[in-house]
Amino acid sequence: MAKERLFPPHASKAGISRGGGLMNRTLFQHSKYASGVVLLTILLGVMGVGATIAQLVFLSKVVNSVFLAHGTLVQVGPLLLLLLGLIVVRAALTWLREVTAQQAAIRVKSVLRLRLFAHLLQLGPAYSKSESTGELVATASEGIERLDAYVSRYLPQIALSVLVPLMIAAYIFPIDWISAALLLVTAPVIPLLMFLVGSYAEKHIQRQWLALSRMSASFLDAVQGLPTLKMFGRSGAAGERVARLSNTFGERTLKVLRVAFLSGMVLEFMASAAIGLVAVILGVRLIDNNITFESAFLVLLLTPEFYRPLRELGVARHAGMEGKASAKRIIEILETPLPEQTVATSRKPLANPLTITCAGVTYTYPGSERSALSGVNLTLPAGSCTALVGRSGAGKSTLVNLLLRFMDAQDGSITVNDIPLSALPIETWREYIALVPQRPYLFYGNVLANIRMARPSASAQ
**Could you report the per-residue pLDDT of 8-67, keeping only the tens digit for each?**
333 333 333 344 555 556 666 655 666 777 888 889 989 999 998 998 888 888 887 877
Residue 167 confidence (pLDDT) above 80: yes
Query: Whole-angstrom Cα distance, residue 122 to residue 406?
Result: 8
**pLDDT of amino acid 383:** 81
Least confident segment among 78-87, 413-422, 445-454: 445-454
Residue 154 confidence (pLDDT) above 60: yes
Q: What is the pTM of this model?
A: 0.63
Query: Whole-angstrom Cα distance, residue 188 to residue 166?
Result: 12
Q: 3-state SS string over the chain?
A: CCCCCCCCCCCCCCCCCCCHHHHHHHHHHCCHHHHHHHHHHHHHHHHHHHHHHHHHHHHHHHHHHHHCCCCCHHHHHHHHHHHHHHHHHHHHHHHHHHHHHHHHHHHHHHHHHHHHHHHHHHHCHHHHCCCCHHHHHHHHHHHHHCHHHHHHHHHHHHHHHHHHHHHHHHHHHHHCHHHHHHHHHHCCHHHHHHHHHHHHHHHHHHHHHHHHHHHHHHHHHHHHCHHHHHHCCCHHHHHHHHHHHHHHHHHHHHHHHHHHHHHHHHHHHHHHHHHHHHHHHHHHHHHCCCCCHHHHHHHHHHHHHHHHHHHHHHHHHHHHHHHHHHHHHHHHHHCCCCCCCCCCCCCCCCCCCCCEEEEEEEECCCCCCCCCEEEEEEEECCCCCCCCCCCCCCCHHHHHHHHCCCCCCCEEEEEECCEEHHHCCHHHHHCCCCCCCCCCCCCCCCHHHHHCCCCCCCCCC
CB–CB of 352/382 below 8 Å?
yes
**pLDDT tens readout for residues 351-406:** 778 888 888 888 887 777 788 888 888 888 888 888 888 887 788 888 888 888 88
**pLDDT tens readout for residues 306-338:** 988 888 887 777 777 777 777 778 888 888 777
- Average pLDDT for the chain: 77
> Over pLDDT 90: what percentage of the chain?
3
Residue 195 confidence (pLDDT) above 80: no
**pLDDT of amino acid 14:** 36
Confidence of residue 201 (pLDDT cuts 50, 70, 90): low
Neighbours of 303 (CB within 10 A): 23
User: When comparing pLDDT for 343 and 252, which is higher?
Assistant: 252
Comma-separated ranges of CATH 1.20.1560.10 domains in the chain: 20-334
Give the CA-trace dihedral at 379, 380, 381, 385, to 10 degrees: 140
User: When comparing pLDDT for 107 and 252, which is higher?
Assistant: 107
User: When comparing pLDDT for 322 and 180, which is higher?
Assistant: 180
Query: Whole-angstrom Cα distance, residue 139 to residue 136?
Result: 5
User: What homologous superfamily is domain 20-334 in, according to CATH?
Assistant: ABC transporter type 1, transmembrane domain (1.20.1560.10)
Confidence of residue 95 (pLDDT cuts 50, 70, 90): very high
**pLDDT of amino acid 47:** 92
User: When comparing pLDDT for 81 and 268, which is higher?
Assistant: 81
User: Of 54, 309, 302, nearest to 179 (Cα)?
Assistant: 302
Query: Whole-angstrom Cα distance, residue 158 to residue 315?
Result: 12
Comma-separated ranges of CATH 3.40.50.300 domains in the chain: 356-436
In terms of C-beta density within 10 A (0-12 exposed, 13-18 middle, 19 or more buried), how is residue 399 classed?
A: buried
**pLDDT tens readout for residues 266-304:** 777 777 888 888 888 888 888 888 888 888 888 888 888
CB–CB of 28/34 below 8 Å?
yes
Query: Whole-angstrom Cα distance, residue 160 to residue 308?
Result: 10
**pLDDT of amino acid 3:** 38
**pLDDT tens readout for residues 115-147:** 888 888 877 776 777 677 767 777 787 778 878
Burial 189-221 (b: 16+ CB within 10 A, else e): ebbebbeebbeebbebbbbbbbbbbbbbbbbbb
Query: Whole-angstrom Cα distance, residue 429 to residue 354?
Result: 11
Residue 350 confidence (pLDDT) above 80: no
Residue 431 confidence (pLDDT) above 60: yes
**pLDDT of amino acid 18:** 42
Q: Answer whether CATH 3.40.50.300 is correct for domain 356-436.
A: yes
In terms of C-beta density within 10 A (0-12 exposed, 13-18 middle, 19 or more buried), how is residue 451 classed?
A: exposed
Residue 343 confidence (pLDDT) above 60: no
